[in-house]
Amino acid sequence: MHSPKSPAVNRRGFLGLAAGATALAATSGEARAATVQTNAKIVIIGAGAGGTALANRLVERLDGAQITLIDPRKNHLYQPGLTLVAAGLKPADYVLSETTDWLPKDVTLIQEKAAAIDPVAKTVSTEGGQTLSYDFLVVAPGLILDHDAIEGFSLDMVGQNGIGALYAGPEYAAKTWQAASKFIEEGGHGIFTRPGTEMKCAGAPLKHTFLIDDRLRRAGNRGKAEITYGAHDGALFGVPIVSEKVRMLFGDRDIEPVYKHTVKAIDAGAKRVTFNTENGEEEMDYDYIHLIPPQRAPEVIRQSGLSWADKWTDQGWVECDKATLRHLRYPEIWALGDVAGVPKGKTAASVKWQVPVVEDQIVSTIAGSDPSESYNGYTSCPMITKIGRAMLVEFDYNNNLTPSFPGIIPPLEELWISWLMKEVALKATYNAMLRGKA
C-alpha cells in the first residue's frame, strides 16, 4: 500500500486531488524525501503523461543523474479532453500543448522514436541511429491504436459518411463531432463500439454514447434516433457494480446494448458494419458509427522481448509486477502507464499513482534502501452521463470502489459536482501531475 506522507491529502484519489490541487502541490513538495547523489544513467521512453511526470519527480530526488527522455512527438496531448471535443464542448486545441513546456531543464530530450531495446546489453536505439546505454530504463510509450485492424476503415474516412473515431487525436475528435452533429440533426441508427482488447479509459466509449444521446434529446430529435452500444464481452464495464449501473441508465435512455460484439469490418459506402459475435458474423446498417480500434503495446516493446509471453499475447503489454511495476525478468526496467501489463489502470489517474511508485523504486535502488510505495490498481473514470452530470467512478485491482470523497460524493450517482471534476478540475490536476506536483 502507499505510505502516505500526509494522510489527509494522500488518502484521496486522482479526482479528489483535483479539488485540492494547490494544497497537494505544497504538501507533496514539503514531504518529498532528501535528494540522493548519483551518476546513474536513466532513460525514459515516452514523454506523455507518465514519462513527463516521472522526469519532473526524479530531477527533484536525484542529484547528478543523467536523465534522458525519448519521444518524437512535439505536442503533448491531454487525452481526457478528447471526449469533450467529440461532443462539441471544447475546441480541438483544448487538448494541445508543447511537450517541451512540461519538461524540467535538467533532462535531455531526444525527439526521436525509440526503435529497439536490448535489455541484456542495456541499450536503447533510436530511429535516427543513436544508441544510448542505461543503468535504469522506464518504458512509458503509451499504446498504439491499431486502426488497420478494422477492415475497410482508414482515418481519412473520419468525419464523413457518419464515421467517428475520437481516440485518434484532436483533429479526428473534432471531425467525429462533425459526423455526430449530422446524426443529431437527422437521426437514424447510431452504433457505438469499443475494441475487444484492453483499452485506455474504458469509460470513454460509454461517455461518447451518453453525450450524443443527450445532444439528441436537447435538439428534440431523440425520437428520430435509435442507439445501439456494442460491448466486447458480457458486461458494459469491467467493474460489475458500475456495469449494472450503466445497464440501468441505458435502459432509462433507451440505449440498446448488444453483448460480445466486436467490430470486424465496415463498408463506408453502404454504411454497414460487420461484427464478430459468439454466433458468427452479424451485419448492421448505421447512420452514425463510433469506432475505437484494438489497442496494443508499441512495436518497440513487442519486438524487444519485454512483453508477457503467456498473457495478452496479441497485445504485448509489458511483463511487470502489478504492485511495483518492475519488469519480472529485467530488474533495471520499469513499465509506467498504458503500456504496463497489469490488470487495471490504463488511465491518467492511474499514472498519477504509478509515478511515485516507480520514482520510489528507482531512488531506493540507487540509495540501497527498501522501497515503500506500491500501486493498488487505482483507476478512475469520471463517467459523463449527460452534459452537466457525471459519476465519479474510482476503483482498484479488486474492483473495490475507492471514492475520493467517501460519504460526500457518492460514486454511482449522476452529479453536477462530478461533472465539474471532469470538465474543469481534471485538467488542472493533470497539469500539476505533469509537473510532478500531484
Ligand X SMILES: Cc1cc2nc3c(=O)[nH]c(=O)nc-3n(C[C@H](O)[C@H](O)[C@H](O)COP(=O)(O)OP(=O)(O)OC[C@H]3O[C@@H](n4cnc5c(N)ncnc54)[C@H](O)[C@@H]3O)c2cc1C
Binding site for ligand X (CB under 6 A): 45-51, 70-71, 73, 79-80, 82-83, 113-114, 140-142, 166-167, 200-201, 204, 298, 300, 337-338, 346-349, 351, 380, 382
CA angle centred on 208, ends 349 and 354, rounded to 5°: 10
Comparison of 140 and 391: residue with beta carbon closer to ligand X:
140
Name which of 158 and 166 has its Cβ closer to ligand X.
166
Q: How far is CA 101 from CA 6, 96, 178, 282, in A?
A: 29, 11, 31, 48
**Shortest reach from residue 39's CB to ligand X, in Å:** 24
Grid cell, residue 43, equals 532513460
211-226 in b/e burial notation, b at 16+ Cβ within 10 A? Answer: bbbbbbbeeebbeebe
Give one DSSP letter per residue of 375-434, joined into a string: ----EEEEEEEETTEEEEEEE-TT--B--SSTTTS-TTS-BHHHHHIIIIIHHHHHHHHH
Amino acid at 23: A
Q: Crossing angle of helices 21-31/426-434, nearest 10°?
A: 20
Helix, strand counts (H, E) of the chain: 12, 24
CA Rg, the chain, in Å? 21
Residue 83 CB, shortest distance to ligand X, in Å, is 5
**Grid cell locating 302:** 513487442
Instruction: Give least dist CB 367 to ligand X, A.
Output: 25
Measured from the CB atom, is 80 or 187 closer to ligand X? 80
Q: How far is the CB of 53 from ligand X (least distance, A)?
A: 8
Q: Which is nearer to ligand X, 53 or 273 (CB)?
A: 53
Question: What are the cell numbers at 266?
Answer: 465496415
Cβ 37 to ligand X shortest distance, Å: 28
Closest CA to 157 of 175, 182, 183, 140: 175
Kindly state the cell numbers that stand for 280.
Answer: 458468427
| Chain residue whose CB lies nearest ligand X | 48
Distance in Å, CB of 75 to ligand X, minimum: 8
Cβ at position 437, least distance to ligand X in Å: 17
Q: Which is nearer to ligand X, 207 or 271 (CB)?
A: 207
CB of 195 to ligand X, least distance (A): 12
State residue 146 phi and psi, 5-degree precision. Answer: -90, 70
- Which of residues 348 and 412 has its CB atom nearest to ligand X in the complex? 348
Choose between 79 and 228: whose C-beta lies nearer to ligand X: 79
What number of CA atoms fall less than 13 Å from residue 139's CA on the CB side? 37
Nearer to ligand X, 38 or 176 (CB): 176
